[in-house]
Chain A
């Protein structure tokens, strides 16, 4: 079902994000923050460990 966002102040992707559960929203915010710091690096061995730590911290 498509969502009518014509009257909404949010874009479709913002609406989609806000429809996620609170845990998932927090998880994605944290992971994206880390990803943006390392996005230009070819080798980034710690990113997976950092994501796991975010999952364990946020989802209890």
Chain B
């Protein structure tokens, strides 16, 4: 899919008709849109999402989702039927040109803003055809599940590179690479209308004993389904709390009285988050060290005892064995010594040779003595190194823990100061913030509790299934019902296994792609990797003295590094989606598709070093790239690097009209030495889209 033109009319803060022609040139594939915070960058990103998917497509951070039509226009309207918000997107997909139009009238917005009018025109061979089912057609071209990876806020994707996001990472792979059908089939087979119905059929014709077990299993599965639903709800609540918190933070930061303390808190919370990640990485390394070599710490007394025994046996000339018992057995067997004496039963000579057996040993015994000596030395060495490493890691962890505690105290202090401010607005905002934080913590705890309970109930349900299968039925009808239920259960297990294999087999292919992208951004010695447990991490080689091989370490990532890793991951998925047809899969006929990437603030949280790396690489992200950036994110190194790539095909800026200019926004925008007026004072708020012509 290549986007050609976007027309917005009275959509959110865009008053009247505004349009953007996007660059569709392969060699100049970047469309750059300058916009200060609050000028409408997110609204523009959301106009695309609303156009494609309607109300459900809007991002979580959109406030008052029911108010789509420009507020001033809606307020002045005397004709609600003919006042409307319209988004038109002209795009190409697989060689065919489409025009999508979504309209919401004011009359409809007042009743239910979710219900919009969508039309999709197809221009083929000079003729225009109207698609009868526009929404399913759009879904088939670009499923809404993948839109979150194509249209996103760059500052909010860093969570993908956190350890707890492995599920989201695998979900992204399934969505982008066409494996979602396997997951939805599993869900449908498990559904009450399928598996539940087959169970009920069996229950109606089987023995009372088996029926009771089926009832019990159904009860357990209902509990699991209800808990899973609760978890989804809790997860959504958590996301909503997070969004609310961000809004409160923004309001506090914009408030003159609270600005300084909130900015300090924001910085401290970022530090706390980064330290938490580092602590988690260290804990993981500690756990690994203890699991692999921890036993050596308890082996000291055993090593001492082993050495004592060895020394005593050596002193008694029992080790190493100087005479081999195989040799003595051979003499006794032949009843003749090497000195030609006879060794008949009961003779003094035979008894003397037999006595030698008490101090003799075989070659294996001697080898074992050598191995034991060596092992005692190795255990001593490993024990020493393990002790030192543990102390070092623990010292580092305690240091981080200490820092986290100090930051926690500073945050508490800020909370106390803001909470007791006399300014009523600050006081209220701080109170709401505190409540939201408590809700967020409750939600996190609740999700952990649900996970534990689901695991326990799933184990019980599986045990019951085995028990039910083992109970033989007498009636043919019951046996048939059992066979049908077994087939569905086997089908579910098989599909889950297939899905796991498909994703695991994609991992190395994806890693090659991730590495290719990552190398373009960051220094040598570092690389990004999707681990076996589907955690995105940055790793590095560390040379160890006296060791032939380098040690590979996870790098504790900052928010900016996580943003880069997540960006690289998404770009890799987009590029694999393009060549999907070449990648082996069990599903027949998966075709490749190219998609644009539309990013709000891709340079947001990045340090200067990353900004230039990302700016240089960003045109290679996707066949078409649309970037929104504020002046602080763009000016300086990013501007120089992006200009040098010669990939910018089109350039716009957002001109904001409103009563106030935000504190961090500039009145004029400077591009390539030219000044553009991007703020105009006005009583009514609205934004215009202006093309930059240099």
Contact = CB atoms under 8 A, between A and B. Distances in A.
Bind each other: yes
B502 interface: yes
Interface string A1-16: 0000000000111101
Interface stretch (B160-168, B177-185, B509-517, B640-648): B177-185
Interface size on A, as a range, is 20 to 34
Given A28-B495, A40-B143, A56 B484 contact: yes
B595 to A, nearest CB: 15
Nearest to A51: B194
Contacts, number: 91
Given A17-B498, A32-B181, A40-B136, A48 B188 contact: yes
Given A28-B494, A31-B189, A13 B136 contact: no
A28 B186 CA distance: 10
B198 A55 contact: yes
A48 B180 contact: no
A39 B487 contact: no
Contact of B484 (A39, A47, A55): A55
Q: Which of A32, A35, A40, A60 has the most CB of B within 10 A?
A: A40
A59 B487 contact: yes
Contacts of B487: 21, 23-24, 27, 55, 58-59
A20 B483 contact: no
B189 A51 contact: yes
A17 to B, nearest CB: 6
Interface in A29-51: 31-32, 35-36, 39-42, 47-49, 51
Contacts of A32: 181-182, 185, 587
A24 B491 contact: yes
B488 A55 contact: yes
Contact of A31 (B480, B483, B491, B504): B491
A20 B295 CA distance: 43
Interface string B123-166: 00000000000011001100100000000000000000000000
A21 B490 contact: yes
Contacts of A55: 194, 198, 484, 487-488
A29 B497 CA distance: 16
B503 to A, nearest CB: 10
Interface residues of B, number: 36
A27 B586 contact: no
Contacts of B584: 11
A16 B483 contact: no
B683 interface: no
Nearest to A49: B193
Q: Which of B135, B139, B184, B586 has the most CB of A within 10 A?
A: B586
Contacts of A35: 181, 184-185, 188
A4 to B, nearest CB: 14
Contacts of B490: 20-21, 24
Given A36-B181, A39-B184, A12 B194 contact: no
B188 A17 contact: no
B197 A52 contact: yes
Nearest to B138: A40
B422 to A, nearest CB: 51
B327 interface: no
Nearest to A56: B484
B501 interface: yes
Contacts of A40: 136, 139-140, 143
A16 B498 contact: yes
Given A11-B505, A13-B586, A24 B494 contact: yes
A38 to B, nearest CB: 9
A14 B181 CA distance: 16
A48 B193 contact: yes
Contacts of A58: 487
A17 B484 contact: no
B491 A11 contact: no
A36 B184 CA distance: 10
Given A48-B193, A55-B488, A56-B484, A17 B185 contact: no
Contacts of A24: 487, 490-491, 494
Contacts of B189: 31, 51
A30 B484 CA distance: 15
A23 to B, nearest CB: 5
A29 to B, nearest CB: 10
B188 A47 contact: yes
Contacts of A49: 193
A39 B186 CA distance: 13
A50 to B, nearest CB: 9
Contact of B139 (A14, A41, A52, A60): A41
B491 A28 contact: yes
B480 A39 contact: no
Q: Which of B143, B488, B504, B585 has the most CB of A within 10 A?
A: B488
B191 interface: yes
A13 B181 contact: no
Contact of B501 (A13, A36, A56): A13
A26 to B, nearest CB: 9
A16 B484 contact: no
Shortest Cβ-Cβ A-B pairs, 9 listed: A40-B139, A48-B193, A13-B501, A12-B501, A13-B498, A13-B586, A40-B140, A59-B484, A59-B487
7 contacts: A12-B501, A13-B497, A32-B587, A35-B188, A36-B181, A40-B139, A55-B198
Given A12-B505, A42-B139, A49-B193, 8 more contacts: A11-B584, A13-B501, A21-B490, A24-B494, A27-B487, A32-B587, A55-B487, A60-B480
Interface of A: 11-14, 16-17, 20-21, 23-24, 27-28, 31-32, 35-36, 39-42, 47-49, 51-52, 55-56, 58-60
